[in-house]
A and B are shown apart, each in its own frame.
Chain A
Amino acid sequence: MASFQNISIRNKLTAIIRNRAIKELSQLNEQLEQRVKECKANLTKTQAALQLSQEKYHKIVEQTDIALYSSDYKEYLTYVNAVFKKLSGYTENELVGKLFLEIIAPDWKEKVTKFYKEQFDNKVQESLFSFPIITKSGEKKWIEQTVTQLKEGDLIAGLNAIVRDITERIKTEEKLKEYQYFFNNSHDLITIANESHFEIINPNFRKVLGYSEKELLEKRFMDFIHPDDVNTTLLEIEKLRTGVESLNFRNRYRRKDGSYLLFEWNVTPDPITGKFYASARDITDRKKAENKLIESEHFLNSIIENIPNMIFVKDAKDLRFVRFNKAGEDLLGYSKADLMGKNDYDFFPKTEADFFTTKDKEVLESGKLLEIEEEPIHTRYKGDRIVETKKIPILDGHGHPLYLLGISNDITDLKKLLAELKQKSEELANTNKELEQFVYVASHDLQEPLRTISNFVVLLKKKYSGTADTATAQYLQFVVDAATRMQNLIKDLLDLSRVGKNVVFIEVDCNEVLTEVIADMEASIKESNAKITAAKLPVLKGNTRELKQLFQNLISNAIKFHKKNVIPEINITVEDKNTEYLFAIKDNGIGIEEQSINKLFVIFHRLNTSTEYPGTGIGLATCKKIVDLHNGKIWIESKFGEGSTFYFTLPKENNLKHNGTQTTLK
């Protein structure tokens, strides 16, 4: 029964428990419902708050001046804010759903992709990177973006990016870089300095001067300046202090090796900070070149000024004088100051000025040098002069005339002198002619009385032969010999004075000439047993009579100066020398001593005593005169004791040098 009881208890208990449970449950339920109610209210509140927050956030995001965008994990844009749209120039529709990569500047796409890949691979949460994008209008804009990954668990759900437009900053940076580049690479020396020291110097300072930057900055710049330039530099600094710029100021700086360089400075002072912004250029070489140019100009100037000819330059446009030298001033009687900028019409009579101007124009138009052999020119103090002028156009690179250069030589005195000289030389020629005529006539007229003397002395000698005493016979012989010698002398003189008189040149066959000479000399050839051989001689232009004389003199000479007891051998040869023939008359005679050779063709010069080798000393002088007349040369080669060779040349074609004067006997 227990069980029953138990059951009843149990039932009772169960009912109690149940009731209690129900009660508790309903309480609990109430509580729960209350909680749900509260929760619901809370949720609504939270939802409202969230809504508010979202709106607030959105508002913030949209209203901020920072550009923002979000993308999904594949980098398709999911959100862009207004600033970003403005920055990129695209609308929301054009951006959302597109790849962000598309607006990156093409040459940066790869770099940007690579950068972010590395970021993600290395699980870097947040990163900063700058690169350019291309806006809708095609403009390149530099942005700097901070990218934050959005994660769902371990997975990247997307990206949030804060973007700043840094185009201006980049531009400034680039400019700054350029300034820096310019500063660092300038070949000028650039510095910012205060009154005593360099504060900033560009690298070229070191390069040019050879000091370290430290040395240059530590020392006072005045310590580098040439002692002679310190004062001028100090004065220049004084000027700068007053705020005045310094332009093209020059001073010398000492290099580390002790040498000096010449700098040319341009300095702008800042009156507020007292700083100097300066650039300098090393003009040492330029200065040297300048000096050289100055020297060369000075050199040319000296020449132009001191040359005895008048030199003038006119501008090509209106022929006004732009240059005049001293000789020009002296000649014309006007100073440079008088002449500059003026033209011919200001100084010369119209006809002269017209002539000069015409010639000037001719030169400038033709572009060629013109020589005016003679032109009259009126001068201020020297009256009318005659000048010889060269006019030369000075052209520019394109051949257009810039200037007209004139060089004039005052030939007035020269012309006068020439005229005098001409007169004198005519007088001389006349005197010479008269002299020749005198010699000719005198010798001719001397012949007759001499012959008479000779004739009668011979008769006397004959008449008294055998009856006269020895002394008388000897005296008579002296007279006969002297008369004979004088006759020879006169004959030779006549020959000499006759050379060139009444001469015409014709075709002469030298073979015929020689044959005639040998025939004429038959007696002396026979007497001396001389052997004469001759090559075939040419036909040439000359004078028969003179050539005959020439051959005759040379052959008789060769016979006359033969060695005792040696048969004279004379060989005549000829060589063709293009425009002339070279004749040689070779003998085996006594020869001539070397020191005497030069005197050989001098008139009256005899090398031997008259008793041994009688002669007048005129024969070879006549030969020379004949060869000269034929425009040839004559000389001798000889070995004393072994014989001589006389050479002479005769041109094939020939014209008379001068025509002799007609000489007639009284």
Chain B
Amino acid sequence: MKKINCILLIDDNPADNEYHKIIITEANVCNNIQIAIDGRKAIDYIMKSGEPNQSSTFPKPDLIYLDINMPQMNGFEFLEEYHRLDERLKAKIVIIMLTTSLNPDDKIRAMSYKELTEFENKPLTVEMLHETVEKYF
């Protein structure tokens, strides 16, 4: 099974983050799992990851799982902010919106952001991870 370097989970729900960590570990696709509990913190993380000598503390994520509903900055706001980031920071990052929302409007809205790759519903499964890694890496 292919392995990627780092996955960034952007979610305010610690239970979800814990669960996703277990599933990612179980899927055995990545050993470095980073967590940002809202969009603002995630942007900060990505900006930090571009700074020199920060790669050990803020490793650059290959894959981001992005929740929609979060305090401070929600998923959509994150995507808007992310859009304005330097291209070098964004290079090769795959962003997947991972949400509870079954609202097709949310999906349509999400897919309108060019930096977003996929729209998936929680819960994350081993199969989903394998498929994604297979497909994009």
Task: List residues of A whose CB falls within 8 A of some B CB.
Answer: 444, 447-448, 451-452, 454-456, 459, 491, 494-495, 498, 502, 545, 665-666
Partner of B15, one of A456, A498, A665: A456
Is A459 a contact of B19 with CB atoms below 8 Å? Answer: yes
Inside 8 A of B15's CB, which chain A residues have their CB?
452, 455-456
CB distance from B132 to the nearest CB of A (A): 18
CA separation between A448 and B101, bound complex, in Å? 9
Is A665 a contact of B101 with CB atoms below 8 Å? Answer: yes
Is B123 a contact of A454 with CB atoms below 8 Å? Answer: yes
**Other than the known A444-B100, A455-B19, what 19 A-B pairs have Cβ atoms closer than 8 Å?**
A444-B103, A447-B100, A447-B102, A448-B13, A448-B100, A451-B16, A451-B100, A451-B122, A451-B123, A452-B15, A452-B16, A455-B15, A456-B15, A459-B22, A494-B102, A494-B103, A495-B102, A665-B68, A665-B106
| CB of B52 closer than 8 Å to a CB of A | no
Is A665 a contact of B69 with CB atoms below 8 Å? Answer: yes
Is B102 a contact of A491 with CB atoms below 8 Å? Answer: yes
Is B100 a contact of A502 with CB atoms below 8 Å? Answer: no
CA separation between A456 and B21, bound complex, in Å? 12
| CB of B105 closer than 8 Å to a CB of A | yes
CA separation between A447 and B104, bound complex, in Å? 16
Is A498 a contact of B103 with CB atoms below 8 Å? Answer: yes
CB distance from A337 to the nearest CB of B (A): 72
Residue on B nearest A440 in the bound complex, by CB: B103
Is A666 a contact of B103 with CB atoms below 8 Å? Answer: no
Inside 8 A of A502's CB, which chain B residues have their CB?
105
Q: What 1/0 flags go to B1-39 for Cβ under 8 Å of A?
A: 000000000000101100100100000000000000000
Residue on A nearest B16 in the bound complex, by CB: A452
Q: Looking at chain A's contact residues, is the secondary structure mostly helix, strand, loop, or mixed?
A: helix
Inside 8 A of B101's CB, which chain A residues have their CB?
444, 665
CB distance from A543 to the nearest CB of B (A): 11
Q: What are the 4 A-B residue pairs with the smallest beta carbon separation, nearest first?
A: A452-B15, A447-B100, A455-B19, A455-B123
16 A-B residue pairings within 8 Å (CB atoms): A444-B101, A448-B13, A448-B16, A451-B16, A451-B100, A452-B15, A454-B123, A455-B15, A455-B16, A459-B22, A494-B102, A495-B102, A502-B105, A665-B68, A665-B69, A666-B69
CA separation between A502 and B123, bound complex, in Å? 27
Inside 8 A of B123's CB, which chain A residues have their CB?
451, 454-455
Inside 8 A of B19's CB, which chain A residues have their CB?
452, 455-456, 459
Q: Looking at chain B's contact residues, is the secondary structure mostly helix, strand, loop, or mixed?
A: loop
Q: What 1/0 flags go to B92-123 for Cβ under 8 Å of A?
A: 00000000111111100000000000000011
Residue on A nearest B108 in the bound complex, by CB: A545
Inside 8 A of A491's CB, which chain B residues have their CB?
102
Residue on A nearest B123 in the bound complex, by CB: A455
CB distance from A485 to the nearest CB of B (A): 16
Residue on B nearest A443 in the bound complex, by CB: B102
CA separation between A12 and B78, bound complex, in Å? 220
CA separation between A448 and B69, bound complex, in Å? 10
Q: Decide yes or no: A545 and B104 within 8 Å by CB, A452-B15, A455-B19, A456-B15 being known contacts.
A: yes
CB distance from B16 to the nearest CB of A (A): 6
Inside 8 A of A456's CB, which chain B residues have their CB?
15, 19
CB distance from A535 to the nearest CB of B (A): 27
Inside 8 A of A454's CB, which chain B residues have their CB?
123
| Highest count of chain A CB atoms <10 Å: which of B22, B100, B102, B123 | B100
B68-98 residues at the A interface, CB under 8 angstroms = 68-69
CA separation between A447 and B19, bound complex, in Å? 15
CA separation between A455 and B105, bound complex, in Å? 25
CA separation between A452 and B20, bound complex, in Å? 11
Inside 8 A of A495's CB, which chain B residues have their CB?
102
CB distance from B37 to the nearest CB of A (A): 14
CA separation between A444 and B22, bound complex, in Å? 24
| Highest count of chain B CB atoms <10 Å: which of A444, A455, A498, A502 | A455
Inside 8 A of A494's CB, which chain B residues have their CB?
102-103
Is A452 a contact of B13 with CB atoms below 8 Å? Answer: yes
Inside 8 A of A447's CB, which chain B residues have their CB?
100, 102
Inside 8 A of A451's CB, which chain B residues have their CB?
16, 100, 122-123
CB distance from B23 to the nearest CB of A (A): 9
Q: What 1/0 flags go to B40-81 for Cβ under 8 Å of A?
A: 000000000000000000000000000011000000000000
| Highest count of chain B CB atoms <10 Å: which of A452, A502, A545 | A452
CA separation between A425 and B88, bound complex, in Å? 57
CA separation between A459 and B103, bound complex, in Å? 27
CA separation between A498 and B106, bound complex, in Å? 12
CB distance from B21 to the nearest CB of A (A): 11
Inside 8 A of B68's CB, which chain A residues have their CB?
665
CA separation between A545 and B15, bound complex, in Å? 32
CB distance from B45 to the nearest CB of A (A): 23
| Highest count of chain A CB atoms <10 Å: which of B16, B103, B105 | B103
CA separation between A447 and B16, bound complex, in Å? 12
Inside 8 A of B104's CB, which chain A residues have their CB?
545
CA separation between A454 and B124, bound complex, in Å? 12
CA separation between A448 and B105, bound complex, in Å? 18
Inside 8 A of A498's CB, which chain B residues have their CB?
103
Inside 8 A of A452's CB, which chain B residues have their CB?
13, 15-16, 19
Residue on B nearest A452 in the bound complex, by CB: B15
CA separation between A447 and B100, bound complex, in Å? 7
CA separation between A577 and B104, bound complex, in Å? 32
CA separation between A444 and B100, bound complex, in Å? 8
CA separation between A502 and B106, bound complex, in Å? 12
CB distance from B74 to the nearest CB of A (A): 8
CB distance from B26 to the nearest CB of A (A): 9
Inside 8 A of B16's CB, which chain A residues have their CB?
448, 451-452, 455
CA separation between A498 and B105, bound complex, in Å? 10
CA separation between A441 and B24, bound complex, in Å? 30
CB distance from B101 to the nearest CB of A (A): 7
CA separation between A444 and B105, bound complex, in Å? 14
CA separation between A498 and B103, bound complex, in Å? 8
| Highest count of chain B CB atoms <10 Å: which of A444, A451, A494, A502 | A451
CA separation between A459 and B23, bound complex, in Å? 10
CB distance from A438 to the nearest CB of B (A): 16
CA separation between A455 and B21, bound complex, in Å? 12
CA separation between A451 and B101, bound complex, in Å? 12
CA separation between A545 and B103, bound complex, in Å? 10
Inside 8 A of A448's CB, which chain B residues have their CB?
13, 16, 100
CB distance from A76 to the nearest CB of B (A): 135
Inside 8 A of A665's CB, which chain B residues have their CB?
68-69, 101, 103, 106
CB distance from A423 to the nearest CB of B (A): 32
CA separation between A502 and B105, bound complex, in Å? 9
CA separation between A666 and B106, bound complex, in Å? 13
Inside 8 A of A545's CB, which chain B residues have their CB?
104
CB distance from A459 to the nearest CB of B (A): 6
Inside 8 A of B106's CB, which chain A residues have their CB?
665
Inside 8 A of B22's CB, which chain A residues have their CB?
459
CB distance from A512 to the nearest CB of B (A): 15
CB distance from B15 to the nearest CB of A (A): 4
Inside 8 A of B105's CB, which chain A residues have their CB?
502
CA separation between A665 and B101, bound complex, in Å? 9
CA separation between A452 and B16, bound complex, in Å? 6
